[in-house]
C-alpha cells in the first residue's frame, strides 16, 4: 500500500495547485512617486508599498521596461533597482518588455528610436540581442525574472508598422512578420538562459480579454511553425473596457482548454470611489462603468478582486495561475497627479485599503515541509513555523483537482497519519492571515 503524495511542498507550488492563485502587482511607478514625495501608510504608519504587498502575501512584482525613455524611470537601471528591492523582499519578478521608448498598448506600439527604419532582418536581430543583453544584466545582478512578457498588450502586434496586424494590416505577410519578431524575442530569452531549468517562462500578453474569438484567433495565428515559444498567456481585464466577469470567464476557460498553458490576469483594477484627488483625468469615474453588485467603495473593490480570484481558480485544469493589480500604489503625489488614484489599494490619504490584505487571506502561504513514509500507507509530515499562524488544515483528495475533504485540524508543526487508503494527494493550508 502506497502512502499519499504530498501535493503542496512550498509556497510556489501552492499557488499552482488545487485552485490556489498567485497574487502580485505592477509597481513600475513606485520610484518616481517616492521621488515626488508620495507617502503610503499601513495602520497609520509609513510603509513601503512593495514591502507591504509582500507582507500581505503577494508573490509577484511586475515591472515594465522601456528601451530608452526620455525620463529617468522605466529604463534598465531604474527597473533593475526596483527588481533588487523586490528580490530582497521575497518577490519574484515578472519583467514586461514594451519594446518601445514609452507606453506600448493596443493604440501605441512605436519602436525605439534606436531601431527606426531598420529592415526586417536587422530589426529581428535587434530584438533578439536586446532581449538577451537585458536578461543577462538581470542575471548578473542576481535578479533573474521568473516570467518575461514578450511585449505589452500586443493584440495589434508590436514595433509598428513592421509587426502590425490590426485594422488594414491584418494580412498573411504582416502575421509572418509578427511571428518572426516574437520568435526573435523568444530566442533572446533562450540565449540568456542556455540552461532550460533556469529559463523564465515567456508570456504573450493580450488586452482584450472580453473577446474570446479574437484572443483565440490571435494565439492560433502565432502557434504555427516559425512562431515564438511561450509558456503562458497574459490578459488585461478592466470591466469598463472588457465586459462582464462572465465574458472573461469564457475567454479564460476557452484558452485553457485550447492551449493548455497557465493564464495570468496581469492587469486589473477597480475603484474604491468615483471621486478624485487631483486635477488629472481619471481612467474611470462614472457610475455606468461599474459592475452590478460591486459599488465604488473599499468593500466593493475588495469584493471585485475576490470575485476575480475565484474566476481564475475555476479555470479548467488548474490553469488560472496569477492575478496582478495594475499600479495599486499609484496615488497622487506632491506636484504630480494620478489617473488611477481612485483605483489604488491605498486611499487618498495614502492609507492601505482592505484590498491590500486579500492575498494572505484568500491564498495564505504554505510552509516548507518534509514528508517521510512510515509504511502501511502512513506518513510523517513536519513543517516550518509560519509567523503569526498556529492553525493549519490538512485535506485529502483522490486527484490533484479534488474533490478535497478535511483530514485533520492541526497546530504546529508535525503530524503522523493513520492509514489513508485512496487519498492519493494531501495539501496543508494555513488558516490565519499573515500579520
Catalytic site positions: 153, 267
CA distance 318 to 321: 7
H-run or E-run covering 248: helix 245-259
Which DSSP category does 293 fall into?
Answer: T
Count the neighbouring beta carbons within 10 Å of the beta carbon of residue 399.
11
Residue closest to 30 by CA, chosen among 305, 264, 333, 334:
333
Residue closest to 328 by CA, chosen among 252, 242, 266:
266
C-alpha cell at 247: 465574458
Residues 40/52, Cβ–Cβ less than 8 Å: yes
> Which neighbouring-strand residues pair with 330?
none
> For the sheet containing 369-375, what is the strand order?
369-375, 378-383, 414-416
R_g of the chain, CA atoms, integer Å = 22
Residues 247/306, Cβ–Cβ less than 8 Å: no
CA distance 396 to 419: 12
> Which neighbouring-strand residues pair with 362?
none
C-alpha cell at 32: 518616481
H-run or E-run covering 396: strand 392-397
CA distance 214 to 206: 10
3-state secondary structure of 108: strand
Amino acid at each position: 500500500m502506497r502512502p499519499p503524495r504530498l501535493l503542496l511542498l512550498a509556497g510556489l507550488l501552492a499557488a499552482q495547485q488545487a485552485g490556489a492563485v498567485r497574487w502580485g502587482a505592477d509597481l513600475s511607478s513606485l520610484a518616481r512617486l517616492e521621488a515626488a514625495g508620495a507617502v503610503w501608510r499601513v495602520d497609520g504608519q509609513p510603509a513601503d508599498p512593495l514591502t507591504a504587498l509582500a507582507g500581505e502575501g503577494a508573490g509577484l512584482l511586475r515591472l515594465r521596461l522601456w528601451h530608452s525613455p526620455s525620463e529617468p524611470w522605466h529604463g534598465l537601471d531604474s527597473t533593475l533597482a526596483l527588481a533588487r528591492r523586490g528580490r530582497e523582499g521575497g518577490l519574484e519578478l515578472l519583467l514586461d518588455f514594451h519594446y518601445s521608448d514609452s507606453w506600448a498598448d493596443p493604440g501605441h506600439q512605436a519602436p525605439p528610436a534606436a531601431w527606426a527604419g531598420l529592415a526586417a532582418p536587422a530589426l529581428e536581430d535587434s530584438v533578439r540581442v536586446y532581449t538577451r543583453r537585458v536578461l543577462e544584466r538581470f542575471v548578473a545582478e542576481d535578479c533573474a525574472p521568473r516570467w518575461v512578457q514578450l511585449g505589452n498588450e500586443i493584440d495589434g502586434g508590436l514595433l509598428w508598422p513592421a509587426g502590425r496586424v490590426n485594422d488594414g494590416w491584418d494580412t498573411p505577410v504582416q502575421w509572418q512578420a509578427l511571428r518572426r519578431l516574437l520568435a526573435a524575442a523568444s530566442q533572446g530569452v533562450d540565449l540568456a538562459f542556455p540552461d532550460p531549468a533556469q529559463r523564465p517562462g515567456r508570456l504573450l500578453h493580450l488586452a482584450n480579454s472580453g473577446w474570446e474569438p479574437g484572443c483565440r484567433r490571435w494565439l492560433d495565428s502565432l502557434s504555427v511553425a516559425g512562431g515564438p515559444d511561450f509558456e503562458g498567456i497574459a490578459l488585461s481585464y478592466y470591466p469598463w473596457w472588457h465586459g462582464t466577469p462572465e465574458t472573461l470567464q469564457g475567454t479564460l476557460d476557452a484558452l485553457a482548454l485550447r492551449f493548455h498553458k497557465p493564464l495570468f490576469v496581469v492587469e486589473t483594477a477597480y475603484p474604491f470611489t468615483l471621486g478624485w484627488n487631483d486635477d488629472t483625468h481619471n481612467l474611470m469615474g462614472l457610475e455606468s462603468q461599474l459592475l452590478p453588485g460591486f459599488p465604488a467603495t473599499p468593500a466593493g473593490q475588495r469584493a471585485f478582486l475576490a470575485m476575480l480570484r475565484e474566476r481564475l481558480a475555476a479555470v479548467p485544469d488548474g490553469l488560472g495561475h496569477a492575478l496582478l493589480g495594475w499600479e495599486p500604489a499609484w496615488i497622487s503625489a506632491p506636484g504630480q497627479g494620478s489617473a488611477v488614484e481612485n483605483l489604488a489599494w491605498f486611499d487618498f490619504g495614502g492609507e492601505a485599503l482592505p484590498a491590500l490584505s486579500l492575498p494572505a487571506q484568500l491564498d495564505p502561504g504554505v510552509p516548507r515541509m518534509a514528508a517521510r513514509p512510515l509504511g502501511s500507507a502512513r506518513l510523517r509530515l513536519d513543517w516550518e513555523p509560519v509567523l503569526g499562524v498556529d492553525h493549519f488544515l490538512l485535506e485529502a483528495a483522490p486527484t490533484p483537482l479534488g474533490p478535497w475533504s478535511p483530514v485533520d485540524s492541526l497546530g504546529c508543526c508535525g503530524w503522523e497519519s493513520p492509514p489513508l487508503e485512496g487519498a492519493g494527494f494531501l495539501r496543508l493550508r494555513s488558516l490565519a492571515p499573515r500579520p
